[in-house]
Structure 1
Amino acid sequence: AFIRLITVILDVMFVWRTRRTMSIFQMVRIVLKILVATIWMITLPIYYAKSRKNSVCSADQSWSQFGSRCLPQYMTAVAVYVMANSIEMALFFVPAVRSYMEMSDSRLCSIFSWWAQPRLYVGRGMQECHICLLKYSLFWILLLSCKLLFSYHFEVKPLVESTKQIMQISVSTYEWHELFPGVKNNVGAVLAVWTPITIVYFMDTQIWYSIFCAIFGGVYGIFRHLGEIRTMGMVRSRFLSLPAAFNARLIPPSSKKEKKRNIRSLLEEKFFRVMEVEKDGYIKFIAVWNQIVNSIREEDLISNRENDLMTMPISSDLGSGNIHWPLFLLTTKFSTALNMARDFDGEYWQLDKKVKKDRYLYSAVKECYNLLINFLDLLVVGDLEKRIISAIITEVKNTTNSSTFLSNFRMSELPVLHDKLIQLVEIFLENKHSQYEKLVKLLQDIFEIVTRDMMIYGQRITDLINCSKSLEEGDSCLLSLYEPPLFASKVPKPALNFPLPNSGSVKEQARRLFLLLTVKETAMDIPVNLEARRRISFFATSIFMDMPCAPKIRNMLSFSVMTPYYAEEVNFSEEELHSSQDGASILSYMQKIYPDEWKNFLERMGYKASDCLHDDHFSDQTNEEVRKWASFRGQTLSRTVRGMMYYQKAIKLQAFLDMAKDKDIREGYKTIESEYDRKRSIHSLSAQLDALADMKFTYVISCQMYGSQKASGDPRARDILDLLMSYPSLRVAYIEEKEEIGKDKPQKVYSSVLVKAINNLDQEIYRIKLPGPPIIGEGKPENQNQGIIFTRGDALQTIDMNQDNYMEEAFKMRNVLQEFHRHQQGRHPTILGLGEHIFTGSVSSLAWFMSYQESSFVTIGQRFLANPLRVFHVTRGGISKASKTINLSEDVFAGFNTTLRCGYVTYHEYMKVGKGRDVGLNQISKFEAKVANGNSEQTLSRDIFRLGRHFDFFRMLSCYFTTVGFYFSSLMSVLGVYIFLYGQLYLVLSGLEKAFINGAQTKNMKSLETALASQSFIQLGLLTGLPMMMEIALEKGSRTALTDFILMQVQLASVFFTFSLGTKSHYFGRTILHGGAKYRTTGRKFVVFHASFTENYRLYSRSHFVKGFELLFLLVVYNIYSRSYERSMAYILVTCSIWFMTITWLFAPFLFNPSGFAWSKIVEDWMDWTKWMNNQGGIGIQQDKSWQSWWNDEQCHLQHSLLSSRILEIILSLRFFIYQYGLVYHLDITQDNKNIVVYVLSWVVISGIFLLVKVKRNL
């Protein structure tokens, strides 16, 4: 009853400011709730006291007398109270009934809903199904059980005995002037011991959640087949089943297949059996696979040679099962078969069985043989020569069919034949008439090797051919006296058709045959680029995951993509690429971190790496390509546009595969892009594909400042126009501001304008006049809101300008859109969450840490949010309310809104998009500050209040610990360190610690140490590290996870995460106390330059440096005056973690700063900082120019803070007087005098020093 009364009072406090807008029914409800809670609070104690007086009854009383006299009235009151509250518990187990009552308009349900919850339009009917309720309830019951058992046995229970001893000790002598000497039981010491324990007791639930999230999220990911194919070796082993999985997931089923799909898909998805794939499935898979490989080559992730090794040729004999697998699967297979046959000792059927056991080995041998036969058939046109080759082929077929091949051929000569065949294919590749004589001689050598050295009965074939020739001429079967050299005859026609026809297919076959004969690399070494490996392995993994069946393109949902853009980089300029500081430019830095991609780029442009040591070798066109190459590796708009436009390419190819027949696919799938530039009619295939793609996909960039950039001649406007010309389907929406003459005075007119590119110019499509300035709330969501009116379709994908997309992922978009047709409890999804890959991890060690941190929070965290926690506010890219400050994190508020309105949010990991993160410490700190500010505003928002009120208890825990709970726990972690140190300082300086050690056997308080040791996990960043390791192990393997984790510690990952803890706690706590959240621009460029000390001081002075020096002073004073006992390992861990956090907060900005400890930079930074400190501030003086301007801006939040917040700030600042009060009585000058006069005199001395300094400064 007391807790219920407190709850009602808190409800009144939270809604107090809305009292003037409340309806009379809401006021009556609040008054009645207070009245009922107060009545129960008074009634239950009264009845309990009365029942204690009259609770003895005789055994021989009748039931009526027992009921009237002996049944305690207290139990009756309790029964009534429990019965009234048991309704809510019953409804918890029947969520469907509660949802019906909240959504119903009946009088009885309305009265109940009115009493249980405030009457709102939102927040009704959010209950989950029984299965979901059971899953997240069991999760939290298990978690809380483990947490409570651990806390009781290792935190609370051991400290009880120590507390009893402390309370029993009588302390009569203090080492300072005790202000409250009459207080009994050493209350101050008890508070100093129990306060940090209490904080950790409530805070460490976040640690338990992190542990359980990592375990259950990892297991859940395993069941969803994540990480099944992690390496190229796994890709090779599963490649045979890829066409079947591709055909089942990404190819629309025919009407006949749809009827059988349930049983068929069950067998495939549960047992992963390889299905029989029809020939069109192979053809379509090859077409898509080749498009993916070509896209990866265009992005310079692979070389031309790797492109050839990964491409699959489409042949006319696919229907017969002759699949030409990519050469990277067949590399070394032919040489392996060659060595196997040469050294084999046994029967031919044994060798044949051994070869066929390896599917790739058999395919390599068979394809090489068929290609060689095809080339000889194309090359040799002479009658005699054709008969010879035909006889040899016939002999090979007959001996293999009869299993006598090894007894008719000598396998020891195979290496010699292999070398000759390589020379033959090299001539095919050159295909020059000057090689004719060399070709003839080479063919004669091959004929000699085959017939004389290899074939045991080779002479018999020659005799039969000569005999056949003589019979045709009518002569006897005698050898001719004169015979022209074999393959050299030119009369009446040449024996060889050389040069070969100069067609693309012949060149491809020759190149493929040459690679089959010569490549020695294994499949695990191809491709070399790690990003290409990741993309291929993830695509292979994803098509084995559960996803909706793909519809035909004409039946898929149409969708739009929108990207907000303000004034970020579109492309890197020439000046940016080549400007250098300390000899490091952006281009040179990129060449160092992407060496293989730079080499592939030069190869694509026709240059050699050795010839291009300097950019002076490049032409203007190549310089423009270099600029694009660098921009595609940064966080630029051009990278985002290129990635999103893959959707259009994928839709066109998929539409072509839907409409075309097998013959059209074999002959025309490569000509789609070339036909695009031709003059087309309305009925041409390419025109139909373009029209269908435009119907299904729209891409709008909301460039808020494009109009002003054009007017000012900003080069970014030209870059945006270049994007419009490169992608004709791209559209740009911007805000145009003009002054028009009104009736009395000029007035500004705002319009939203949509443009496209026509004839190298932007042409206006639509113009919508706006009622006023569109930027009312935060800039990014308002920019999206003004552009969203130009989007079309059934779905909208919001993409930030630092994101990317990939061709292979674009092919899965129609499957993703089918998720909107799935429903749960009659609700269709409103938001679909997709996985993200952080592509900036290779830029710096900090970027690597951030990418892995995103892996833990975004990937494993959101996977667990969707199922089983059912939190349903996975973030998305924006579009929020027109409110400033409170909606700083606009994406999560979009999730809050859809949840409150019975929305259904899902998260799927079979598709990923790229995402860039900040790569420098200052950028990351600004981003962390923005997110912490946003979370504090969420804490104060009515959205999170309504969610907490309408969720049940366990779902409310899910909501708390997955949103604001993490930041609140971080704040409590830092606050716990302060309380622990100040408590220990109080015990040391007051003399209580000495008295406890001398007066009792109170050894080390292990419960306190154990609790704080668990809290140190947050300080060291291990709270983030556990989910991180689980996700890396899931996607890359346990060995890689362990290796990466050790490498991260060597690269000071713990320093980074501990430093980030200070950023989160400072900005979260300050915004909670004073408000004032604001958007902080971070910049998305490569950080290869030194940050000045002035900049670091402005960023970290209040959040880290001041707090770091305070902790340092606390630790030093405590270690000086502590007369401690023997230290335990837990105590050492606690103190070491605090020392580590202190040093990290003071020195991390210099550790992660390029040239941070170079002497020349130190001198330069000192001079710059001194100048900055001495400059006077004023109107128009920026923060980076004057200390005074920075200070005024840093303290501006106090001007708008509430009086209560200011008072609390003053109270918290009074902690610094503990130093003075304690240290004054420990100085030798006091001569052990504990009088209060000593403290007063210390103030006189301090005041005198301040006055002296002030007077001297004024002089």
Structure 2
Amino acid sequence: MNLDWKDMIKRLHSLLTIKESAANVPKNLEASRRLQFFTNSLFMQMPLARPVSEMLSFSVFTPYYSETVLYSIAELQKKNEDGISTLFYLQKIYPDEWKNFLTRINRDENAADTELFSSANDILELRLWASYRGQTLARTVRGMMYYRKALMLQSYLERMHSEDLESAFDMAGLADTHFEYSPEARAQADLKFTYVVTCQIYGVQKGEGKPEAADIALLMQRNEALRIAYIDVVESVKNGKPSTEYYSKLVKADIHGKDKEIYSVKLPGNPKLGEGKPENQNHAVIFTRGNAVQTIDMNQDNYFEEALKMRNLLEEFSQNHGKFRPSILGVREHVFTGSVSSLASFMSNQETSFVTLGQRVLSNPLKVRMHYGHPDVFDRIFHITRGGISKASRIINISEDIFAGFNSTLRQGNITHHEYIQVGKGRDVGLNQIALFEGKVAGGNGEQVLSRDIYRLGQLFDFFRMLSFYVTTVGFYFCTMLTVLTVYIFLYGKTYLALSGVGESIQNRADIQGNKALSVALNTQFLFQIGVFTAIPMILGFILEEGVLTAFVSFITMQFQLCSIFFTFSLGTRTHYFGRTILHGGAKYRATGRGFVVRHIKFAENYRLYSRSHFVKGLEVALLLVIFLAYGFNNSGAIGYILLSISSWFMALSWLFAPYVFNPSGFEWQKVVEDFRDWTNWLFYRGGIGVKGEESWEAWWDEELAHIHTFRGRILETILSLRFFIFQYGVVYHMHAGKESTSLSVYWVSWAVLGGLFVLLMVFSLNPKAMVHFQLLLRLVKSIALLVVLAGLVVAIAMTPLTVLDVLASILAYVPTGWGILSIAVAWKPIVKRFGLWKIVRSLARLYDAGMGMIIFVPIAICSWFPFISTFQTRLLFNQAFSRGLEISLILAGNNQNAGI
């Protein structure tokens, strides 16, 4: 018998005769998932791996700035406003893993946390255990070092004879880690693998004695293959003048745990000229080595069983994938942050559908897959000789990752995608984090529209590939914006037909003539909810991965968890930031934070983040629907109006209340009262030098206007703001006071009334502190003005055709008109300031924000009166945790129950 066959039979016999009991089957869900994916992946098509000595060498490359490296004991014990510490949170979310940890360090399960702080070694192990469950650099480093461990094991096994291998199986020798001490295996792994983390400000952190520097040094001591690249700034005096020199350095830990310099490259100047993250990568890419480089973000993870397949993946560079050899190998990601809240699961499912079904189709047959971020594997030689792996021009390259894909494709590269190997990925788990991330991506796509890379690809692609490329990059955001604009155009068209009377006239003519087609066109109905369409790829992914029945159940479950509200809200986020970038430019990096988000977000914080992107637009849509309800002609009655407007109402309400529906403890009365107090304090706190937007409405308002700074932008804002004057022009002619007149004098009278209202605003906005010697006179003038207005209103209703309904109608007319005037005024801020009217404009803006806040706050306050609503909301938000039996209520309640005792 052939010796190879004999060895294979012996190995098969050893595997089949291993005695395992059901007690040894892992009960942990994450362990089961990993084993399931690993076994399934072995049946996928992948190239055969060469021996470790013949495989391609590669590097792993991670950019880091100032994120968390290791959780300190103080951070683990620090309690938030609800009395919850990070350690307590992790103990409740990972109860089985916490028990395993206590067993490993020989501690009793009922031991108090303080007992763990008695030993320095236990403290370090506790910090590592917690850090390995967050989005920290320590977790990323541990995961990437599995590559070295896997290569050592594979090299060790290749050197063993078949008899030694059989005896190792018999003695369960492979369960030990003695292969890590093999000099040959270690040397072979170090030849084939290196890990470079580019910590841009490590030198500054070390000089200032920051804890991040000590934690990075600790990681270097625990991982001998880890290399740290950083920019060293050297201040000196030359010829009596101060001089600053910049060096790009690479260091490792020596046997004494100190930094040992490997390379030092003098730079011609400060390397940070463009965007921070890509510049951080560009200065250190010279320190990578080998044939390939895998880019890994600092909130990613890796698994030992997946690292075993890295040799197979690298063989893809020599496989036939079309006309050109691969230049980037796409790798699948698993989002490990989707196991607690419903929001996290929505993002996880959406991301999973993109990195599997989506990128698979983009790669083949469409051939338009780009580099959408980590963890793709680059042909290092190909890219380092063609401009590098990251573009760093300020603003235009805010989404730096995808430009590497553009660059590779333009230079006849070939980008493939492979799903038999995956790495872990941390995603945003709170609505605010998700919105900031989507805003950054949408703004980045807005900048891509203006880039020359997009232009060149559009010119060079054939027609079908160009369409595929358009739909999968900037076209997705452009079509999203057009979808929302279509709703606006539809509603403004309906409102015009209602206010002008043209709709009723055409309908009557159609009824007389029996013109059914015209009648149907006039009663066009928006039956479908456009936000749900974004979930279709995710549903198809469920069907392919889990089957039709499971996909159907998952989809229905997600509907009960209000996923349609979430996706509709995301639609508004993308539209706002993409559209604003197209109009004004200036996309910027938005730090989302990578903490654990199972905490209540204050009303004021949500209002600051979503006021201009969602609340203003949601109220505009709602106002259009109310005006159509009041003045529209619909011969179908209430049913016709409901069918016509239900989708638009859903969109408006989702934009207005989604941040509070998805806010933990958002309907608890005590939280609502505290939020209202905090919001009013923020709203009326005066701004000034050094005051941040989180502290004062005035400072926040100035920040919100910063994007309008060009003449072109001011013109565009003015043109777009003209739409708000349509309301007044149409409504005033439907008021009883107008006596059904169509004369322009009615419209001018309405403007005279509006001018009087502005005079009143000027009177009431007078600052008492500025008239300290005329306090009594000021109060008298304000009182008289208020009495005159009320008396005039009563007399007008009693003595003229003016009715109470006319007063309500005037609100529908003047509120949007005032907002239009305000929008134009802030667009031309320098001119308004020159005329001394800025304080009045600011008072008007504060009044509008106070009004919008109250419209949103009142329904929340009413719902918080009923305790069952809060319980129902908690179940919706944390259904994933309840299904796993986690004590999420303890996390949400915190120590508040004891606070009042």
Shorter chain as normaliser: what TM range? 0.7 to 0.9
Question: Is 1:548 aligned with 2:47?
Answer: yes
**2:474 matched to which residue of 1?**
964
Structure 2 counterpart SS, 1:1196: coil
Aligned equivalent of 1:1052:
562
DSSP-derived class of the 2:234 partner: strand
Q: Which amino acid aligns with 1:656?
A: Y
Q: In 1, are the aligned partners of 2:525 and 2:643 still within 8 Å (CA)?
A: no
Q: Which residue number corresponds to residue 232 of structure 2?
A: 736
1:654 paired residue number: 154
1:1149 aligns with 659
- Cα deviation, 1:1098-1124, whole Å, max 9, x if unaligned, reads 110100111111111111111122231
- Deviation readout 1:192-229 (Å, 9 max, x if unpaired): xxxxxxxxxxxxxxxxxxxxxxxxxxxxxxxxxxxxxx
Q: Secondary structure in 2 aligned to 1:1197? A: coil
Which amino acid in structure 2 is aligned with residue 833 of structure 1? G
Bigger CA radius of gyration: 1
Determine which of 988, 991, 994 is the counterpart of 2:498.
988
Is the CA contact (8 Å cut-off) linking 2:58 and 2:194 kept in structure 1?
yes
- Contact conserved, 1:751 with 1:770, CA < 8 A, in 2? yes
SS of 2:439's partner is helix
How many angstroms does 1:740 deviate by? 1.3
- Change over 3 Å in CA distance of 1:319–1:941 after alignment to 2: closer
In structure 2, the partner of 1:632 is 132
Alignment TM-score, normalising by the size of structure 2:
0.79
8 Å contact kept, 1:865–1:874: no
- AA in 2 matched with 1:594: Y
In structure 2, what is the equivalent of residue 875 of structure 1?
372
Aligned counterparts of 1:826 and 1:954: Cα–Cα separation in 2: 18
Q: 1:666 deviation in Å?
A: 4.2
Specify the SS of the correspondent of 2:53. Answer: helix
In the TM superposition, 1:889-1038 aligns within 5 A as: 889-1001=399-511, 1006=520, 1012-1013=526-527, 1016-1019=528-531, 1022-1038=532-548
1:644 aligns with 2:644: no
Residue type of the alignment partner of 2:550:
T
**Partner letter of residue 985 of structure 1?**
T
Offset at residue 582 of structure 1 (A): 1.6
CA–CA distance in 1 between the matches of 2:89 and 2:634? Answer: 53
Are the counterparts in 2 of residues 803 and 916 from structure 1 also a CA contact under 8 Å?
A: yes
CA contact (8 A) 1:564 1:701 kept: yes
Question: What secondary structure is seen at the aligned counterpart in 2 of 1:796?
Answer: strand
Structure 2 residue aligned with 1:491: none
Question: What do residues 806-828 of structure 1 show as CA deviations (whole Å, max 9, x unaligned)?
Answer: 11110110111111112455521
Q: Which amino acid aligns with 2:53?
A: R
Does structure 1 residue 664 correspond to structure 2 residue 664? no
- Which whole-Å deviations, capped at 9, do the CAs of 1:352-380 have from their partners, x for residues lacking one? xxxxxxxxxxxxxxxxxxxxxxxxxxxxx
Deviation track 1:424-462 (CA, whole Å, cap 9, x = no partner) reads xxxxxxxxxxxxxxxxxxxxxxxxxxxxxxxxxxxxxxx
Aligned counterparts, 1:684-703, within 5 A = 686-703=182-199
Given that 1:876 and 1:894 are in contact with CA atoms closer than 8 Å, whether structure 2 keeps it comes out as: no
Instruction: Output the CA distance in 2 between the equivalents of 1:1009 and 1:801.
Output: 53
Please state if 1:753 is matched with 2:261.
no
Match of 2:210 in 1: 714
CA distance in 2, matches of 1:858, 1:1129: 42
Kindly report which structure 2 residues correspond to 1:1075-1094, keeping only aligned pairs within 5 A, or say none: 1075-1094=585-604
**Are the structure 2 counterparts of residues 1229 and 794 from structure 1 closer, same or farther at C-alpha, using a change threshold of 3 Å?**
same
CA distance in 1: counterparts of 2:165 and 2:108, whole angstroms: 36
> For residues 1070 and 675 of structure 1, what CA distance do their matches in structure 2 show?
57
Q: What aligned pairs does 1:299-338 form with structure 2 within 5 A after superposition? A: 318=10, 321=13, 323-328=15-20, 331=21
Alignment correspondent of 2:324: 827
Find out whether 1:775 has 2:272 as its counterpart. yes
Q: CA deviation at 1:1005?
A: 5.3
SS, match of residue 446 in structure 2: helix
- Aligned 8 A contact 1:1010 1:1130 in 2: no
Partner AA of 1:868 in structure 2: P
Query: In the TM superposition, what is the alpha-carbon distance from 1:710 to its structure 2 partner?
Result: 1.2
The residue matched to 1:1225 in structure 2 has which SS? helix
Aligned equivalents of 1:1000 and 1:671: distance in 2? 83
Match of 2:66 among 530, 553, 567: 567
CA contact (8 A) 1:853 1:1024 kept: no
Structure 1 1009/588 Cα, relative in aligned 2: closer, same or farther at 3 Å?
farther
Unaligned runs of 5+ in 1: 1-255, 258-276, 283-317, 332-518, 678-685
Is contact 2:116-2:122 (8 Å) kept?
no
Q: Which moved more, 1:1084-1093 or 1:811-820?
A: 1084-1093
In 2, are the aligned partners of 1:846 and 1:920 still within 8 Å (CA)?
yes
Does residue 108 of structure 2 align to residue 612 of structure 1?
Answer: no
Report the Cα offset of residue 1155 of structure 1. 2.1
Is the Cα contact below 8 Å between 1:876 and 1:895 reproduced in 2? no
Give the 3 Å change call, closer, same or farther, for CA 762–1182 of structure 1 in structure 2.
same
* Contact 1:586–1:1088 (8 Å) recurs in 2: no
- Between 576-585 and 696-705, report the one with greater CA deviation: 576-585
Q: Provide the secondary structure at the position in 2 that maps to 1:869.
A: coil
Task: Give how far 1:951 is off.
Answer: 1.1
Matches within 5 A, 1:754-833: 754-758=250-254, 759-824=256-321, 827-833=324-330
In the alignment, what sits opposite 1:232?
none
Which residue matches 2:829? none
Partner residue of 2:57?
558
1:854 matched residue in structure 2: 351
Structure 1 residues 733 and 1106: alpha-carbon distance in aligned structure 2, compared to 1, 3 A threshold: same
Matched, 1:839 2:336: yes
Once the two structures are TM-superposed, the CA of residue 1032 in structure 1 deviates from its matched residue by 2.1
Q: Distance in 1 between matches of 2:201 and 2:231?
A: 7
Where 1:740 maps in the other structure, the secondary structure is strand
User: Contact 1:840/1:847 (CA < 8 Å) preserved in 2?
Assistant: yes
Q: Is the 8 A contact 2:153 2:180 kept in 1?
A: no
Query: What is the CA distance between 1:975 and its match in structure 2?
Result: 0.6
> Structure 1 CA distance, aligned partners of 2:323 and 2:488?
51
Counterparts in 2 of 1:340-489, with a 5 A limit? none
- In 2: Cα distance, 1:1202 partner to 1:880 partner: 33
Q: Against the structure 1 CA distance between its residues 670 and 1249, is the aligned structure 2 distance closer, same or farther, given a 3 Å change threshold? A: same
Percent identical across equivalent pairs? 55
Q: CA deviation at 1:585?
A: 2.3
Separation (CA, whole Å) in 1 of partners of 2:285 and 2:688: 41
Conservation of the 8 A alpha-carbon contact between 1:829 and 1:906: yes
C-alpha separation in 2, matches of 1:956 and 1:736: 44
Contact 1:988 1:1122 survives alignment (8 Å)? yes
Q: Residue 752 of structure 1 contacts residue 787 of structure 1 at CA under 8 Å; is this kept in 2?
A: yes
- Residue 752 of structure 2 corresponds to which residue in structure 1? 1244
Structure 1 counterpart of 2:35: 536
Residue matched to 1:1220 = 728
Q: 1:1230 aligns with which of 734, 738, 754?
A: 738
How large is the Cα RMSD of the aligned pairs? 2.3
CA distance in 2, matches of 1:908, 1:320: 28
Native 8 Å contact 1:753 1:764 kept in 2: yes
- 1-structure distance, mates of 2:525, 2:451: 32
Partner AA of 1:1225 in structure 2: Y
Aligned to 2:619: 1109
The answer (yes or no) to whether the contact 1:1090–1:1155 under 8 Å persists in 2 is yes
Compared with structure 1, are the counterparts of its residues 1134 and 879 closer, same or farther at alpha carbon in structure 2 (3 Å cutoff)?
farther
Q: Quick check: 1:1175–1:1187 contact (8 Å CA) kept in 2?
A: yes
Letter matched to residue 673 of structure 1:
T
Q: 1:1175: Cα distance to partner? A: 2.9
Q: Using a 3 Å threshold, how does the CA distance of structure 1 residues 821 and 1006 change in structure 2: closer, same or farther?
A: farther
Instruction: Report deviation, 1:1220.
Output: 0.6
Contact 1:548-1:815 at 8 Å conserved across structures: yes
Distance 2:457 2:639 in 1: 43
Distance 1:280 1:860 in 2: 39
- 2:715 corresponds in structure 1 to 1207
Structure-2 separation of matches of 1:1000 and 1:1196 = 51
Q: 1:726 aligns with which of 222, 228, 231?
A: 222
Tell me what 1:673 maps to: 177
